[in-house]
A and B are shown apart, each in its own frame.
Chain A
Amino acid sequence: MEYLYLMILTCLLVLAIAYFVNNKRSIKPSLSFAGVNRSQNGSFTLKLSKTSGENGQTETETTAATTETVEQEGGDQTVTDAEKPLDKNVRLLSPTRMVVRRFLRSKLSIVGLVMLISLFVFCWLGPVVYNRWGEIETERGVFPDYTKEIVYDENHEVEYIQLIVKYKEINSLAAPSAEHLLGTDEQGMDVFTRLMYGGRLSLTISFLAVFLISFLGIVLGGLAGYYGGWVDNLIMRICDVLMCLPTLPLMLIIGTVLDSNGVPQDWYIYLLMGILSIFSWPGMARLVRGQILYLREQEYMVAAEAMGYSTGRKIFKHLVPNIMPQIIVSMTLSLGSMILYESTLSYLGLGVRIPYASWGTMVSIISERTDILQNNFNVWGPPGICIIIAVLGFNFIGDGLIDALDPKQRR
């Protein structure tokens, strides 16, 4: 039954998001006359006014690529437009503010942002507020355990349902109640609390892994793109080799190697994800290299050369900031996939291990226990839904960022 509710809820949510996104975001033509725009007070104007001739003003429309760098100051200077010099009439927006503006205008990315912020608040502030149970705290005591059994009388004619009451020491698989908001798992640990601690771990790890990947990718891709020649060849061949290594099997092998070398539990998953990043930087490096190959032929790089800047300055001050948009988008999207990798590894028993919590570990119980799969949705459902929310949030944001960071965007 819970699935029916869940499905209806999901469908409604999808429709609501699509409706919300669609409704609030009316499409304005990318180029419009000044008169139209001025009448809609405060709306985003897409053009430059230019004074010329005796007849007051002639409107010149800028090309699509530069429209958004310019914004008109207010709605009340219709008369003064002609007298004012050009630079007083327009206000320049910094690229960052432009991006933030465009990003916030896309409702899909707002939805993603809200999803992620609420997850972060839940995971980091949650345990502070709701500290009744600890992450690995098992509730002990005496708990009744009811089992039903069908018994027959001697002649096999009458059926009885016998209720057997046993007592157990651990409060395992308790139903959701005021005491345990989402019940307990088979070890008697509070699912709701573990959800918060597991989220801390999953989110932290994915961020660390993505930063490591980006660092390696930017440095190596930058070197390859900038120097070219044998450096480029060497780094790109290493990329080819690493890209041909199947990721999941590789992680399984490395997980076993780490296991047998007695890596302490606290560091195990960090080390594993660190190694995963060492094997997954080629995608980022290729992206950076391709962009740098294109950018280093631009005039401004010739100017930088003429100024006698050092190589490091040229790469990291002049080239890398120009590819930041693509890097940020790719980082956001890989945050989601890192969460998926971490949870998959934990599900296969290679990541975080019980009693410690991560979302993947919490779901992993159902791979062996079909009774829990069928009867205790409250044990494995919430962590799975949390994984989906987190990954979806990152994907929504990444999707919004692609639009927001694209300089060719007209809207």
Chain B
Amino acid sequence: MFKYILKRLGISILILLGVSIILYVLLRCMPSDFVEQKILALATNGVTVTDEFVEKMKASYGLDGTILQGYFKWLFNVFRLDFGESFISHREVLSDIFRADRIGTSFFVAAVATVFEFLIAIPLGITAATHQYSFRDYAVTVLVLIGISLPSFFFGKVLQDVFAYKLRLFSIAGMTDANLSFNNPWDEFKDYIGHMALPIFTVTLLSIGGRMRMTRTNMLEVLNADYIRTARAKGLSESKVIYKHAFRNTLIPIVTGLAGLIPSLFSGAMITEQVFKLTGIGSYALNAMTQGDIPVIMTYNMFLATLSVLGVLMSDLMYGLVDPRVKLA
């Protein structure tokens, strides 16, 4: 077991190295990088820009030298846990990302959405499976397929239009109302929820479909198993058969799927955050990408890649823990 984990971790490090090389080379291929944009801005303001100045500027951002040199410099710094500082805000990237209003916001939205997703999708999946090919099954299937098919930007905007602009039930966008001052924490909390409700609803609705279909497929598989027939033959009540015998076995893939959720909890929903103008990590990265802020882009993407590598490893390990039939080697 220990050896297995070590081996997997070793492979993970190789994978992450590969990911970082691809990303870094691509980023340095952007000819209109941050420095050039800045110089262009200076030049249009009438400042004469010498070659010397350009070189100096590039050196100050660590963009001098070849791509290979730059990569190894970046890698060396990463091993010292130095991820550089953002070109835009000139702050340490790590402390910039791991702030309560950045990753905290993204995590809050994702976590609440995930809880709702499970609470809604699993019962739906179970009813669809136990009433297979019935009206209920088809209604649920059609509904969740519509949920999967919604483009997040379109759906988010429709929600914004209906509930924020037209009905004025929730706040339109942003994190807080700038023109309001709060007397007690309860009002502040209400305001926060008012801003978060629509993004959470968007994320939840878009993700219910996949989870529900997974639950339904697994439940159907379990319901066809021999031990379910035995349980029924014993004369157990239907609810006992379904919730005690079938559902518990359906839980195996659901629980292992939890580990696979790790990346999505922290990555931030890029499009949804952009639509609702949240200051989460997703919109932060989107902003960095349009401006060529290399340290932020590298850190964000490597953070995501690390999480997804860990997520896969964790879900494999969970399988070994939850399902006694699976042996890791």
Contacts and interface: CB of A to CB of B under 8 A. Distances in A.
B138 A249 contact: no
B138 A248 contact: no
Find the residue from B30, B138, B271 having the highest chain A CB count within 10 A.
B138
A3 B15 contact: no
A140 interface: no
B154 interface: yes
B165 interface: yes
Given A253-B297, A347-B153, A19 B166 contact: no
A392 interface: yes
Interface in B1-43: 11, 14-16, 18-19, 22-23, 26-27, 29-32
A240 B17 CA distance: 11
Contact of B151 (A3, A260, A343, A367): A343
A344 B15 contact: no
B135 A18 contact: yes
Contacts of B205: none
A380 B274 CA distance: 18
B305 A257 contact: no
B261 interface: no
B158 interface: yes
A366 B149 contact: no
B316 to A, nearest CB: 13
A257 B290 contact: no
A17 B300 CA distance: 43
Interface of B is mostly: helix
B270 interface: yes
B130 interface: no
A371 to B, nearest CB: 10
Contact of B138 (A17, A241, A260, A366): A17
Nearest to A252: B289
Interface string B45-78: 0000000000000000000000000000000000
Interface string A234-264: 0001101101111011101110110111000
Interface of B: 11, 14-16, 18-19, 22-23, 26-27, 29-32, 133-135, 138-139, 141-143, 145-146, 148-154, 157-158, 160-162, 165-166, 267, 270-271, 274-275, 285-286, 289-290, 292, 297, 300-301, 304-305, 308-309
19 contacts: A18-B138, A18-B142, A22-B133, A22-B135, A237-B15, A241-B15, A244-B305, A245-B22, A246-B305, A249-B300, A249-B301, A254-B26, A260-B30, A343-B153, A344-B151, A344-B153, A348-B286, A373-B165, A391-B149
Given A243-B308, A246-B267, A246-B304, 11 more contacts: A14-B139, A22-B133, A237-B18, A246-B308, A253-B30, A253-B297, A256-B32, A256-B289, A257-B31, A374-B161, A392-B146
Which 8 residue pairs are nearest across A and B when measured between Cβ atoms?
A241-B18, A391-B149, A384-B154, A18-B139, A18-B138, A392-B149, A244-B305, A260-B32
